A and B are shown apart, each in its own frame.
Chain A
Amino acid sequence: MANDITDAEARLALRSIEERRRQVIAEIDMPRWYWWGLALGWIGLGFVTDLGHPWVTAAATLAFGAVHSGVASHVLSGRHRSSQLSVRADVAGPSVAVVVIGFLLGLAAVTVALAVLAEADGARHPVTAASIVVAVAVLFGGPTLMAAVRRRAERHSGA
């Protein structure tokens, strides 16, 4: 039977397969609420830090970390944006969580650097100010990062 189809038909079938694969890849993402929650939590943590009570800051940081790790275990893979499907791990790529965590660590470093600069400039609430800047970066950078993950998945796909 394979010999009965032409190469044009075979190419058409492979294109169709690739198109369907792209439809699944388009679902690789993280829920919008994750980025909003992260941004608001980031600002809240900055605000608490500016209050100047080390124990409160430590407790807030632990609470933030605990909530994040509870949520992250489900959403960080980028495979469950909607409840309509679960993207296969080998399609999403093995390192989505690593990329996102690297992004968050980078943002933490930027927050510290901006807070130091703001404090040196005499800002009254340097960490809050730095956190607001980084929260905006989270809201814009997070979805952009996931778009890059999807593009990479498309490059690696191929029927």
Chain B
Amino acid sequence: MAEARFDELIHPSTRLSIVALLASADWIDFAFVRDRLGLSDSALSKQFATLEDAGYLAVERPLSNRRRRVRVRLTDAGRDAFEGHVAALQAVIATADLASPTP
């Protein structure tokens, strides 16, 4: 169980969605993330840049069938931050449930 640590960088809904997708995969193609989140290329690139600057995400550009593809993956730091954030969210809920137990 990760140590609960609320992460303000991850919490905004778009970045949370990106990191949540990446957390279940070894790597994901740029197009897959863009299509699932319904974002434009530029909007997604901006979010990727923010996460990459924080050291949470790594961008790779492998050559496949003579086409340059863009793959992204969470770094170890990004995975730790995500797991800590999930634990923090669960802690908020657990605290609320303790404060108002259901009969």
A: residues with CB less than 8 A from B are 1-3, 5-7, 9-11, 13-14, 16-17, 20-21, 23-25, 79, 83-88, 91, 159
Q: Does B31 contact A (CB under 8 A)?
A: yes
Chain A contacts for B63, CB-based, 8 A: none
Known: A2-B88, A7-B93, A10-B93. A20 touches B26 (CB 8 A): no
Q: Say whether chain A's binding surface is mostly helix, strand, loop, or mixed.
A: helix
Report yes or no: B26 in contact with A86, Cβ–Cβ below 8 A.
yes
Q: How far is the CB of A8 from chain B (nearest CB, A)?
A: 9
A3, A16, A84: most-surrounded residue (chain B CB, <10 A): A84
B: residues with CB less than 8 A from A are 4, 6, 8, 11, 13, 16-17, 20-21, 23-29, 31-32, 36, 64, 86, 88-93, 95-97
Selected from B6, B28, B92, the residue in CB contact (under 8 A) with A7 is B92
Selected from B4, B17, B97, the residue in CB contact (under 8 A) with A16 is B17
3 closest A-B pairs by beta carbon, nearest first, are A7-B96, A2-B6, A20-B20
Report yes or no: A14 in contact with B93, Cβ–Cβ below 8 A.
yes
B28, B86, B90, B92: most-surrounded residue (chain A CB, <10 A): B92
| Other 18 A-B pairs with CB < 8 A, given A5-B6, A17-B16 | A2-B92, A3-B92, A6-B96, A7-B95, A7-B97, A10-B89, A10-B96, A13-B13, A16-B16, A16-B17, A17-B20, A23-B36, A25-B24, A84-B28, A84-B29, A85-B27, A86-B26, A88-B26
Q: Give me 30 A-to-B residue pairs in the complex whose CB atoms sit less than 8 angstroms apart, sorted by A's number.
A: A1-B6, A1-B8, A2-B92, A7-B92, A7-B96, A9-B92, A10-B89, A10-B90, A10-B93, A11-B93, A13-B13, A14-B86, A16-B17, A16-B20, A17-B16, A17-B23, A20-B20, A21-B23, A21-B24, A23-B21, A79-B26, A83-B64, A85-B26, A85-B28, A85-B29, A86-B28, A87-B25, A88-B26, A159-B20, A159-B86
Report yes or no: B92 in contact with A5, Cβ–Cβ below 8 A.
yes
A6, A10, A16: most-surrounded residue (chain B CB, <10 A): A10
